[in-house]
Homo-oligomer: A and B are copies of this chain.
Amino acid sequence: MERSAVNREIPSHIEGYGDVAGRLYEGAFARTPSGYRSGPRIRSSSPHDGSKLTGGVKEAIMAAGVKSGMTLSFHHHLRGGDHVVNGVIQACAELGITDLTIFPTALFDVHKDIIPYIKSGVVSRIMGSVNGAIGRLVSEGGLSSPVVLRSHGGRPRAVISGDVHIDAAFIAAPAADRAGNISGQMGRSACGSIGYAFTDAEYADVVVAITDNLQSYPISPISIPGVYVDLVAVTDSIGDPAGIVSGTTKVTRDPIRLLIAKYASRLIEASPYFMDGISFQTGAGGIPLAVTAFLKEAMKRRDIRASFGLGGITGYFVDMMKEGLIQKLMDVQSFDLEAVRSIASNPSHIEISADWYANPWNCGAAVNMLDVVILGATEIDMDFNVNVCTEADGALLHGIGGHQDTAAGAKLTIIAQPLTRGRIPCVVDKVHTVTTPGEVVDAIVTEFGVTVNPRRTDLMDACADFAVSRRIPLIPIDELAERAKKMCGVMEPIRTSDRVAAVVEWRDGSVIDVIRQLEK
């Protein structure tokens, strides 16, 4: 057994993952690389080559030389509407290919269709976020190898460093041409940014664009140039538009959540970062959107303009840019129709790769430039450690997303969350899973006020000034935990076996925690 810097017991060797000794989490910025990036497979081409176009998904799999035991990568910009993962896995099964490692950025409920293929051994390993049904299957021991969870920045880091070698990347392409130039911005399956797919295209041995919208050469704009793309498969539909983008993302109407949002926005206003040029990431949740709405009023009142909004981009940010309150948007994932339209038409709306967004192992990702991020949690503990992966019953139901990356990068990392969900406490003595260490979490905001990490005495002082005028109730972490205990009573302990069902990597590739299989 080893013990990580966040005090977690982790086996020295994890079957199906490897040795942990030597790559144990030692601190948010402790591990730095040396040497050189992994070199992608070199190709050559001539004007006399045959076409890159293949018949359909199955033909593309054959042309790509996919074999049993290989690692296939996918990206999740088509979200709940994605047809590509299921289509590729089913075709592999029909071709008799087994023992695949899949390396998606994220799987959702729509991908529960691959569960039979997990059970039959077509898919034997998953490295990527497993949301919902597949996560539950994993928690219950349904996969023989542990899932490896990485953040949006940790994933490209793993690829460029050689931790993960992609045999074949399958890129869902809302638009493509016969040379393999890809864009996410046009077509019936338009999803806006396809930032998560960039590194896969650059590093995979074989890159397959799967499109339902083949256009004449050259398309423009081009997100991923055809110089990285070996094959283009044309299929009837890569996704269901209804599942790809939501209509509009909406601010919460729940009074408790609105109160939390108000406190969070006041905390930001009290902070030293609330000045012209402020930058923030707020995501698409109800509370963060409400924080943005309150902030927007404060910005107008104090004549402040933001330099950029980052991350998953919503129509709310797009509107703020149109109103001149945000100057630029840096978009790794476009959440709604308005964001998709904006990225396709406004040069100030910049498509960024996951590497650019969040990779700790390049010359400086966008998260490092971030002032404020509002994040959620399933649990937070007395050390400010945050769990976003497992639910109260210990089941792995959520991926890391950009949580680790933005928390580490931003000057002010705020977890905004009601203290309880039903009878389940969100603040506990010890989180079941450490996704993000307290070292990079600055404050928790609940309906009871603001809880500042004691390490941030500057923030305490800033809030205290506000507190004098009674605008920000301050509540220490132990009082908050005590209150949660009173509200929810003592929780049943989660019963797990020793077997590791999932490994949680910190964004630098070290192991910060493991998620153990649930006992029946």
Contact = CB atoms under 8 A, between A and B. Distances in A.
Interface of A: 29, 32-49, 52, 160-161, 179-180, 207, 216-218, 220-222, 225-230, 277, 307-308, 327-328, 330, 347-348, 350, 352-353, 355-356, 359-370, 408-411, 508
Given A33-B44, A37-B42, A38-B39, 16 more contacts: A35-B39, A37-B41, A43-B363, A44-B362, A45-B362, A45-B364, A46-B368, A46-B408, A47-B408, A179-B369, A180-B364, A207-B363, A218-B308, A220-B328, A222-B350, A227-B363
Given A180-B363, A347-B220, A29 B46 contact: yes
Contacts of A49: 364, 368
B52 A364 contact: yes
A36 B29 contact: no
A44, A216, A220, A229: residue with the most chain B Cβ atoms closer than 10 Å:
A44
A411 B330 CA distance: 40
B363 A160 contact: no
Contact of A225 (B160, B352, B410, B411): B352
A361 B328 contact: no
A3 B480 CA distance: 82
B218 A328 contact: yes
A199 B42 CA distance: 14
B221 A360 contact: no
Contacts of A161: 42
A47 to B, nearest CB: 4
- In the complex this chain forms, how many copies of it are found? 2
A36 B160 CA distance: 13
Nearest to A277: B216
Contact of A307 (B29, B217, B226, B364): B217
Contacts of A36: 38-42
Given A307-B216, A328-B220, A39 B42 contact: no
A462 B379 CA distance: 75
10 contacts: A29-B48, A43-B362, A45-B360, A47-B367, A47-B368, A49-B364, A225-B352, A226-B364, A227-B364, A227-B365
A49 B227 CA distance: 34
Nearest to A161: B42
Nearest to A345: B347
A222 B161 CA distance: 25
A364 B179 contact: yes
A220 B327 CA distance: 10
